[in-house]
Amino acid sequence: MSVSIQGSANPMSDLLLQIVIYTLIWGSIYLLISLGFSLICGVLRIFHLGYGVIFVLAAYLTWTFMEDAGLGLVPSIILMILVQCAFALIVFYKGVFQRYLEEEEILLTVSLLVFLVIVHLANYLFPVTAGVSIPSTIIDDIVTIGGITIAWQMIIAALVGVVVTAIYVVALTRTRIGLVIRAISQNLPAALLMGANVNRMYYLAMILSVIPPTICMIMIAPFWGIDPFMGMPLLMTAMLVSILGGLGNLKGSIVASYLIGFIHASVSFVFVPRFMGFAALIVTLIVMIYRRGGIFAGETLW
Amino acid sequence: MVNFELRRDRIVARWRDKKTEWVIEPRYWRNSTIAITCLFILPLFLYGFPHILTMFTTANLYAAIAIPLALQLLGTGRVNFGPQLYLGVGGYTAALLNLHFGWNPAMTLMATILVCAAIALILSPTTWIAKGLYFSLITLILPLTFLDITYIWGDIFRGEVGLVGMSPLLAFKKVTWNYIAYYYLSLILMLLYLLVCDRTVRSRIGVSMAAVNENENVARMMGVRVDAYKVFFYVAPSILTGIVGWFIVHTFRTFAGVTYLPLEFMAKILIIVIIGGRAFLYGAIPGAYLISIVEDSLRRLGPVNYFVFPLILIALIVVLPRGEGLWGLYKKRRPRDYFPKLHVRRE
């Protein structure tokens, strides 16, 4: 089902088209990667340095349920999401965040240590040679737009990113629960005075933060490549997006995701791909100099 | 003629009209003196165990990284999550200059200090710009970016393999003597750092540091030059960390970013600062020794140790008194004058 959309033969316009397309695709995927991280930042006002665990668990739990328990892809994914939510609530929320909320340096360090435990455990159980892969390809084909070839799976992953973000934005801005979450994000004491059940909202935020990266991992698994240490670059991307956009601000995260997508695409296609991470960091630092607190420095969820 | 007199709680030594007393009741023991003496006589008992000496040399180096970090946490009022950046900068500066230009260790030391100072100065405005969490995150990302660079320019930094064959600081004919010499050198380096940092914290500057750490606005109002303090206490500990990198290069004669720049190494150093007692300079030493011993003991477990080690670190944090770490077990006898709060989320 290979689709071809003819474009110009001009190399310059091809390059521009390539940058635009990959900015949109990568930006949407980065949005999916960073959405949960921003949500935790915005609601709990903490940095979830164990966020990378979600990606690792998503890949390896699905694989374990499929290979060892002999389940199909969909039941494995459903079971994996349940385990992910339980892990986020029991280990991270009850075990770390609630316990060390006032001792932030310990909170961050323990979150990071939990991440390291899971990463190394995954590496011990499933080393790279184990050949872990998730058959979550929806359309196994390519599309050619103006001379640029893209895998359908990338386009679908980008579309899913946009849809999931839109659902989250609508849920946070149009529903009563969203209103309470935003109130907690803006002013915790005031939200408590108004009768908000903060603890329940924190639980909800933890569960909501797990879903986008899990969906992201399932969508990108066919073309991203799975290894036990993949959580680190993904965590770094989420952190960069959050810092650039403004801690815990979803508007900022949306803008920053596409901005980082643009930086990565430009540097990759105009210069060399190996500099893209470095370039994004430099741009983030420059933005930080001129706009302390990122692009949307309000420190509210929306 | 010196006369010794044994009393119920002390030994008194008299020489002419001078008198010196040594309190022997345990709660008045000069514990730091005893601990340092123990560290100095340790090689006499461990002469035949070079791997243990290497483990303690590593512990001294961990402490030498953690002590300036504790000073930096207080002086800048921010939590640096990437102290290993300067370890990498210092190490690579020394290694590259030694390998490619044949510079001797004294020259590479000067270059290390200059390069670390220059980079720290360039990055020091982040202490003004970045608030709380932003600072922690930027400092977390910087060493990882540097690690990326060591892979990007693999022909210079030798990526995963690292640089090898740098000239040693000392070279004795007998191998055991080398182990002992490097143990003593690392111990002296660590104690020197402890002395400098301790004097700084106990001085008038230390009071200003505490003010900066507690509340920058109040400190400013009281006449403390907060911005200058933050730059100084970002740059100076960074140089001290860089010197440890230089020491590693000329001691172990190998240096790879993949060993010192990843999160695992950073977590180790932060854990030393935390379990030693929050930003407590002396606490860094037992913290470093504990971590080093645990790490070395677990190596025998094989690949399992990679996830058992962070598990044990988590257990240590949970079990030890909150925030006060090993110091908390000791504090009943010696109350700490100033117990800082580390601010990550500060606005």
At B49-62, the pLDDT tens digits run 889 999 999 999 99
Written as tens digits, the pLDDT of chain A (302 aa) is 555 555 556 778 888 999 999 999 999 999 999 999 999 988 888 888 899 999 999 999 999 999 988 899 999 999 999 999 999 999 999 999 998 888 878 888 899 899 999 999 999 999 888 888 898 888 888 888 888 889 999 999 999 999 999 999 999 989 999 999 988 888 888 888 988 888 999 999 999 999 999 999 999 999 888 889 999 889 989 988 988 888 888 899 999 999 999 999 999 999 888 788 888 888 887 887 777 778 887 667 77
- pLDDT given for residue B336 in this prediction: 53
- pLDDT of B339 > 50? The answer is yes
Q: B163-164 and A3-5 as β-strands: parallel, antiparallel, unpaired?
A: unpaired
B277 CA: distance to closest CA in chain A (Å): 11
Nearest CA in chain A to B341: A103
B342 CA: distance to closest CA in chain A (Å): 7
Whole-number average pLDDT of chain B: 85
The whole-model pTM stands at: 0.85
- pLDDT of B267 > 80? The answer is yes
Number of A to B CB contacts under 8 A, please give it: 109
B264 CA: distance to closest CA in chain A (Å): 7
User: Which of A123-127, B28-32, B185-189 is predicted with the least confidence, judged by mean pLDDT?
Assistant: B28-32
A114 CA: distance to closest CA in chain B (Å): 7
Question: Kindly report the CA angle at A119 between B82 and A101, in degrees rounded to 5?
Answer: 60
Task: Test B322 with A106 for CB contact under 8 angstroms.
Answer: yes
Give the best-scoring range by mean pLDDT among A32-41, B209-218, B256-265: A32-41
* Chain B CB within 8 Å of residue A137 CB: no
CA distances from B304 to A116, A119, A124 (A): 13, 12, 7
Mean pLDDT of B159-166: 86
Query: Residue B345: which of A45, A239, A275 has the nearest Cβ?
Result: A45
Task: Test A109 with B271 for CB contact under 8 angstroms.
Answer: yes
Cβ within 8 Å of residue A134, ≥6 positions away: A59, A62, A63, A66, A73, A218, A221, A222, A226
* Chain B CB within 8 Å of residue A146 CB: no
- pLDDT given for residue B29 in this prediction: 62
- pLDDT of B333 > 60? The answer is no
Q: Give the residue from B126, B144, B273, B309 with the most A CB atoms within 10 Å of its CB, the best one to mutate.
A: B144
> A185, A173 in Cβ contact below 8 A?
no
Mean pLDDT of B331-340: 55
* Chain B CB within 8 Å of residue A297 CB: no
Mean pLDDT of B32-38: 84
Nearest CA in chain B to A280: B145
* Chain B CB within 8 Å of residue A278 CB: yes
Mean pLDDT of B308-317: 91
The amino acid occupying position A96 is V
- pLDDT given for residue B347 in this prediction: 46
Quickly state the pLDDT bin for B104 (edges 50, 70, 90).
very high
- Chain B neighbors of A46, CB-CB under 8 A: 345
* Chain B CB within 8 Å of residue A112 CB: yes
Between B327 and B124, the higher pLDDT residue: B124
Quickly state the pLDDT bin for B346 (edges 50, 70, 90).
very low
Closest C-alpha to B96, from B230, B212, B225, B250: B250
- Chain A neighbors of B278, CB-CB under 8 A: 105
- pLDDT given for residue A297 in this prediction: 72
> A240, A281 in Cβ contact below 8 A?
yes
- pLDDT given for residue B341 in this prediction: 63
Query: Residue B137: which of A45, A104, A239 has the nearest Cβ?
Result: A239
Cβ within 8 Å of residue B15, ≥6 positions away: B1, B2, B3
